[in-house]
Structure 1
């Protein structure tokens, strides 16, 4: 039986990721077998590698949920897809179609949902089994190195467009210049907002990349920028940092009757009062994942060139060099690493 190298997270301890040889997956009647072209490395992959994540993982599991490639096989009941089709896949590998959220089309909020890379085997390997319902067509003019980043773009789209109602002329501050933060800033610019993105001194290279999207980079305190229009604060704060403490900063920078979109995970308790949320009459909105119509819109933006993810891609590494790709992201040397099976 042929086997293929895969990046496997095999236990809950720090550093429990290694290359393992795995067989080609068997597919069901409603699945396709996808031959992977490229896989984006997500911050959640890094968190599982460093064992500081806050979600349950079905060990051992192949990492990787940002991916695209070609259909290699189709299940007996699969319609509208054929071998050779260029596709990307959504992340909701297992959902309950009868769940009330799924019935509304919000299957991303189905509490029983399980995703690639933690609930089922992901795509950091040669082949991955994918339910056909997860697939979206990739236009010929969109390279897989960019198309594989559809997923984080959809996270940003949902946070900024779907859950924030940003309008032209709004002033928006994004906290955290990681992949999601930079993409949230790019989405806010596409919406016609004035955008600043905030990071630390160690983030200066990432902030320079964010500047390519027309954003104002800020190291440290963003109070002056937030209040320069009328002294009251910014219309919207997008908290895209991976710590809980940034929510306190967001509460300080947002204007009365403003909006905070929290998309970054922060597993530690915040340890501060939420009274400013009440006093300022602020809307605090969580934003998780995405669904079918968001994917269609984001693919159209990528294919048209209106959204360009090339500036955030720091390099493409073979699967076997996963550790270097992970480390460069973890150390802040690149915003986004992309892997490619040999």
Structure 2
């Protein structure tokens, strides 16, 4: 089968033929991959910026959907022919974090044991995963849409943390990549109208226009000018989807009293922002970050069903589809900001 494999020690990503995995354990599920996404985390891994990216050689791809072709002897919840999405994250199921319902904090599992990062993932014709990570799809969801289930599961976790957000709240989204576009879709679905999207790349802002939300689409320079001309220009909620520390810093400065900053994008581990604790106190600012998707895949499927093709359509979201062998072109376009997301069709 074809696969994209990454070696952390040499930072080499290679396209090659490898054997099809065979079921050796009773809880395993073999999936014929249909669609597999390229996440910003993948770009950090390939660049050697992700903290756990130097452990061995693995097939990347932690966002994928497909069809079950074989199952182990103890698998009961899934059968051959089922269409599925994959939750790549799980805990050890033994530690205090896991037992308290927070497997994403697990020091053994969690982000340190993710399918597509530390275990072979979906950038291949076939992928092998344990049955507890497989989410069966309803007939109302296509395999194309289901390939976004994992990032939307992360959004679902973030939405639970951010809520309640009263309709009418002034909301700023910084970064109009795929995550920013999915947040735009989620907020519009929930009835929010007073939303501003800040993005320096005009091409990406044009992708947001295709979602036809009527939101205010501006550049970071325009944000600065608006604040300079109106000292009361501020937001109740800022959601950073860029992972770019200057954008996070700007968003923090634009929060009104009682405001909330959601750090969703993943910044480089060596970058920092400056926060004055007295300012947090004086304005009662809340800052929180979102780490993956603990038990939120079911909610993600619910979001996809609710959004439907009104929002979850590749053309509207700026997603371009590639064959696996064209991965270099896909990564180059993604890095340049010419597309919001690259998706491999196997």
What is the match of residue 19 of structure 2? 23
> Is the Cα–Cα contact under 8 Å of residues 197 and 216 in structure 2 kept in the other structure?
yes
What is the match of residue 288 of structure 2? 285
Change (3 A) 1:229 1:160: farther
Equivalent residue of 2:245, what SS?
Answer: coil
What is the match of residue 147 of structure 1? 146
Q: Which deviates further from its counterpart, 152-161 or 236-245?
A: 152-161
1:24-63 alignment to 2 at 5 Å? 24-27=20-23, 28-63=25-60
Unmatched segments (≥5 aa) in structure 1: none
Provide the aligned C-alpha RMSD in A.
2.3
- Aligned-pair CA distance for 1:120: 0.8
C-alpha deviations, 1:74-112, integer Å up to 9, x for none? 1111112100100001011x5211122222333223232
**The one of 305, 318, 321 aligned to 1:316:** 321
Q: Which deviates further from its counterpart, 236-245 or 171-180?
A: 236-245
Equivalent residue of 1:237, what SS?
Answer: strand
C-alpha deviations, 1:232-274, integer Å up to 9, x for none? 6211101111222322112211111110000112223325343
Change (3 A) 1:129 1:298: same
Change (3 A) 1:159 1:227: farther
1:291-330 alignment to 2 at 5 Å? 291-292=294-295, 294-304=296-306, 305=308, 307-310=311-314, 311-330=316-335
What is the alpha-carbon distance in structure 1 between the residues aligned to residue 100 and residue 6 of structure 2?
Answer: 33
> Is the Cα–Cα contact under 8 Å of residues 61 and 118 in structure 1 kept in the other structure?
yes
What is the match of residue 179 of structure 1? 178
Change (3 A) 1:257 1:12: farther
- Aligned-pair CA distance for 1:9: 0.9
Change (3 A) 1:279 1:309: farther
Q: Which deviates further from its counterpart, 313-322 or 53-62?
A: 53-62
> Is the Cα–Cα contact under 8 Å of residues 48 and 54 in structure 2 kept in the other structure?
no
Change (3 A) 1:315 1:269: closer
What is the alpha-carbon distance in structure 1 between the residues aligned to residue 228 and residue 158 of structure 2?
Answer: 23
1:1-342 alignment to 2 at 5 Å? 4-14=1-11, 16-27=12-23, 28-92=25-89, 94-113=90-109, 114-193=113-192, 194-200=194-200, 203-213=201-211, 214=213, 215-221=215-221, 222-223=223-224, 231=232, 233-266=234-267, 267-270=269-272, 272-275=274-277, 276-292=279-295, 294-304=296-306, 305=308, 307-310=311-314, 311-341=316-346
What TM-score results when the alignment is normalised by the length of structure 1?
0.90
C-alpha deviations, 1:9-58, integer Å up to 9, x for none? 113455x1111222222332112111101101111112222223233443
Unmatched segments (≥5 aa) in structure 2: none
Equivalent residue of 2:49, what SS?
Answer: coil
* Residue-pair matches, total: 333
What is the alpha-carbon distance in structure 1 between the residues aligned to residue 173 and residue 234 of structure 2?
Answer: 13
Q: Which runs of 4+ in 1 moved over 4 A?
A: 223-230
Change (3 A) 1:82 1:268: same
